[in-house]
Amino acid sequence: MKTYKLNNHNLSQFSEVVSIPQYDRSKVKAGIVHVGVGGFHRAHEAYYTDQLLHKETEGNWGICGIALLEYDAKIYNTLKDQDGLYTLIVKELDGTLTKRVIGSIVEYLYAPENPIKVVEKMANPDIKIITLTITEGGYNYSEATGEFNFENSAIQFDLENPQAPKTIFGFLTQALKMRKEKGLKGVTIQSCDNIQGNGQMAEKMLLSYVKVAEPTLVSWINENVSFPNAMVDRITPATNATDISSLKETSGIDDAWPVVCEPFKQWVIEDNFAAGRPAWETVGAQFVDDVVPFEKMKLSLLNAGHTVLGILGDLMGYATIDESVHNKEIQNFLHNYMNIEVTPTLAGLEGVNLEEYKESLLQRFGNIYIKDQIDRICSESSAKFPIFILPTVNKQLENKGSVQFAAFVVAAWAIYSLGKNENGKPLLIKDAMQGILNDKAIASKENPTEFLEIAAVFGKLKESKTFVDAYTTSYQNITKNGVEKCVIIMNNSILN
């Protein structure tokens, strides 16, 4: 098959084989700035927005994607080479691939190259919404203090160099200051990260920074900026070389960085937009008054479920989430964790059907075509445990409920942080805190509770005797018998 480079010029070549944008991209103005143009954004918000642009032909809701970090140079160059176009490949449950070229990213900027340009774009009157996928760790929240972490050297850099910032907080502060000086009114800052109360978190962390960096801006922000909470969901594994080559072979699309994802998608948003918003509800998003139930359900079941399958599966030598969940004992363990420890903490959530949701998760995790990398799931676990798992633990402790399954996963994480799986093979660990995790993991061989000393992750958890006892028992059992044997014993103890 003849292949063509994906770009505006060649776009029509692909219309026979895949869906392509049916709207005139040259007429779409950016009304949204998005920071963090990774796979998830491209499978989720940019997908919804592409669908919307098919309906609202006059739409000024195109996206300007910002690559914020030096690490993001590759995605920036790809988008630039491809005029913002990329292919979204949905891996259906029966193995079919549904492909479409997405056109909603109409501009792209690379912050390290030209920070002022990024600030100016964020302060452009056409921009009504600034959306963020900056990862769980990107909010710079310290679990130990419950506050913004001013010790972060990048934050200190931004405080000293306000004109050439590096962090999202430095950029937003400069942009909002410029909006104020221009006399512009409202703007919305919308988090799309997996954090309970992600809008509130974005607001709290930004205001903490602004109070120090630009104190006179605080009241303007309070009056002019809204921070809606939202629950975002679509499993988006990392794209691999086979995804790229088979797209080329089967569809003739030479796309340097397509995105692969599952068919399921969900976006539940609090309707709190300071300067208008796209009618995303016409393309499947839900606008509700209270997002809390949806967020709680998703973070504590889906994301936590991923972490459980990831940490246990990685230690056992599995490479993908479907392999892990297709081990019957691991699946039963996850079932028990969800039913015995998570479900009681979600009692009384309105508007959601928990039983159906849990069932659907097992099917989603089990999709054998997705091949979601365990390495991806386990990456940055130090930012994930405090959001996905520990709120459940704390609630269960408060209510004197079971914490043995969660404690087992934490113990497995301590052992995982030593860096080898149960077959002695090195684990590929990517975590901003890996230095301290590894030090504490080594110290834990003598005294398992050392790992719980990491206050930035565990807060005050080490003070709970119930948790510490369950954790220590699990630690010793896993060290002696391995994950699978322990899991079988735990599952059987529930049956009996």
Which residues of this protein are in contact with ligand CS2, per CB under 6 A? 194, 233-235, 303, 306, 377, 384
DSSP string, 24-38: -GGGPPEEEEEE--S
Contacts of 268 (CB under 8 A, 6+ apart): 230, 231, 285, 286, 287, 288, 291, 294, 295
d(C-alpha 375, C-alpha 238), whole Å: 10
Nearer to ligand CS2, 296 or 306 (CB): 306
Nearer to ligand CS2, 179 or 234 (CB): 234
Shortest Å, Cβ 240 to ligand CS2: 16
Shortest Å, Cβ 273 to ligand CS2: 22
Q: Residue 168 has which token pair?
A: 């999202």
Contacts of 231 (CB under 8 A, 6+ apart): 266, 267, 268, 269, 291, 294, 295, 298
Tell me the residue type at 237: P
Length of the chain: 496
- Residues 374/290, Cβ–Cβ less than 8 Å: no
Nearer to ligand CS2, 87 or 194 (CB): 194
Q: Residue 23 has which token pair?
A: 């709207």
Nearer to ligand CS2, 108 or 388 (CB): 388
Closest CA relative to residue 259, chosen from 156, 357, 133 = 133
Q: Residue 80 has which token pair?
A: 């630039």
Shortest Å, Cβ 382 to ligand CS2: 12
Shortest Å, Cβ 231 to ligand CS2: 9
Shortest Å, Cβ 233 to ligand CS2: 4
Q: Residue 207 has which token pair?
A: 């205001």
Residue nearest to ligand CS2 (CB): 306
User: What are the angstrom distances between the C-alpha of 183 and each of 5, 28, 41?
Assistant: 43, 25, 31
Shortest Å, Cβ 303 to ligand CS2: 4
Shortest Å, Cβ 444 to ligand CS2: 23
DSSP code for 263: S
Nearer to ligand CS2, 209 or 294 (CB): 294
Helix spans in 317-373 (H)? 321-325, 328-336, 354-366
d(C-alpha 458, C-alpha 43), whole Å: 32
User: What are the angstrom distances between the C-alpha of 76 and each of 64, 71, 79, 85, 210?
Assistant: 11, 10, 5, 12, 28
d(C-alpha 327, C-alpha 334), whole Å: 11
Beta strand pairing call for 30-35 and 129-132: parallel
Backbone angles phi, psi at 113, to 5 degrees: -75, -40
Locus of tokens 């050392």 = 450
